[in-house]
Amino acid sequence: MKHYTNPNSAIWHGRITNKYLYLHEKVRCVPLSEISEPAKKSITLLGYACDEGVKRNQGRVGAVKGPEVIKNSLGKFPNHLANTVLLHDAGAVVCKDADMETAQKELSKAVTTLLKKKQFPIVLGGGHDMAYGHYHGIKNYLDSKKSPQTIGIINFDAHFDLRQNTHGNNSGTPFYQIATESKKENSIFNYLCLGIRKDANDRILFQTAKDLDVTYVLSDTFQIQFLEEINTWINAFIKTVDKVYVTIDLDGFSSAYAPGVSAPSPMGFTPQIVLECLKTIIASEKLISLDIAEMNPKFDIDGQTAKLAASLLHHIIHTIY
């Protein structure tokens, strides 16, 4: 595959115990083509090494290195997974010659393959343009079943990413593209955004969200003291769909927690509210796949953003299984 690289075992290192006390000792590096349907529960990490969409969207480039940095940080975290749970690193989809569209197609195929092989995919980016490929990977998998199921997208983000793609696709257009295709297929566009900032979206984007009947929670309400109300919205949204795809954009967090992103701001949300919301989503048992976007090591400080992404992953993998 031109747009794929095998996993790099050298990035997985840390304290040696020989007792699988740390995740670098637990993880298995397996090329995508060699992933098999497990007898046990299994999680597969897949990188999306592409920031072409960020470049097109006039953001800070550097997220292409995000997947490896997140994996490296995660490897140093303690392992509390049961022996009956497998953890794979399946390498990364890569963007060659600025061909983001082909990278998205390859990501879609990879996600579909992982789901067919009974894996729980977690995609690490990379620009948020990966959401377009990731969504279609889930959709293709569900459409292949005798009884197709509906997908609800929950996006933790400061931005709607509903920019019109009149002048091409980028990291700000994925959900507009999905909405447009859903309309053509006469299907419902199920999209919930948590953490939207008025200072990060212009009035056209708010109008687009209204026109597309998008449900969203503004940043001034997306706070821990309003958790009960937020969970009510999340649960109401989840009830309307069969499966949930979660995407976490690291630039939604305050730059106090995530300086290493493509579009930083001190006005973002906190890790605590995201972790609590993830508990609610996972408890629904409808979560089918998840990704973390916009990790930009070029602008990180003391690995802080990578540690945040790894902490989120640590929480997720120990909660779903």
**C-alpha span between 159 and 20 (Å, rounded):** 39
**C-alpha span between 317 and 1 (Å, rounded):** 28
Q: Which amino acid is at 229?
A: E
Q: 4-320: what CATH class?
A: alpha beta
Q: Specify the pLDDT at position 1.
A: 73
Omega of the bond leading into 126 within 30 degrees of 0 (cis): yes
202 assigned ligand-binding residue: no
What DSSP line would sit under 42-56, residue for residue? EEEEEEEE--HHHHH
**C-alpha span between 92 and 321 (Å, rounded):** 23
159 assigned ligand-binding residue: yes
Q: Specify the pLDDT at position 269.
A: 98
Count of Cβ atoms closer than 10 Å to residue 148 Cβ? 12
Q: Specify the pLDDT at position 235.
A: 98
251 assigned ligand-binding residue: yes
Q: Are strands 4-5 and 41-49 parallel, antiparallel or unpaired?
A: unpaired
**C-alpha span between 45 and 14 (Å, rounded):** 18
Cβ–Cβ < 8 Å for 186, 159? no
SS3 content of the chain, % helix, strand, coil (to 5): 40, 20, 40
**C-alpha span between 320 and 314 (Å, rounded):** 10
291 assigned ligand-binding residue: no
**C-alpha span between 25 and 116 (Å, rounded):** 26
Per the document, the length of the chain is 321
Residues of the chain under the 50 pLDDT cut: none
* Average pLDDT of every residue of the chain: 97
Supply 15's token pair.
């304290």
Residue 130, C-beta contacts closer than 8 angstroms, at least 6 positions apart? 48, 50, 104, 107, 123, 174, 291, 293
Please state the pTM of the whole predicted model: 0.97
What is the distance in angstroms between the CA of the first residue and the CA of the last residue of the chain?
31
CA 13, 19, 24: angle at the middle one, nearest 5? Answer: 20
Beta strands in 77-134 (DSSP E): 85-94, 120-125
| Cα–Cα distance list, 279 to 141, 227, 276, 318 (Å) | 25, 12, 5, 11
- pLDDT (tens digit per residue) in 64-73: 999 999 999 9
Supply 82's token pair.
């049961």
- pLDDT (tens digit per residue) in 252-285: 999 999 999 999 999 999 999 999 999 999 999 9
Burial class (CB in 10 A: 0-12, 13-18, 19+), 2: exposed
Nearest alpha carbon to residue 178 among 114, 215, 134: 134
Q: Specify the pLDDT at position 54.
A: 96
157 assigned ligand-binding residue: yes
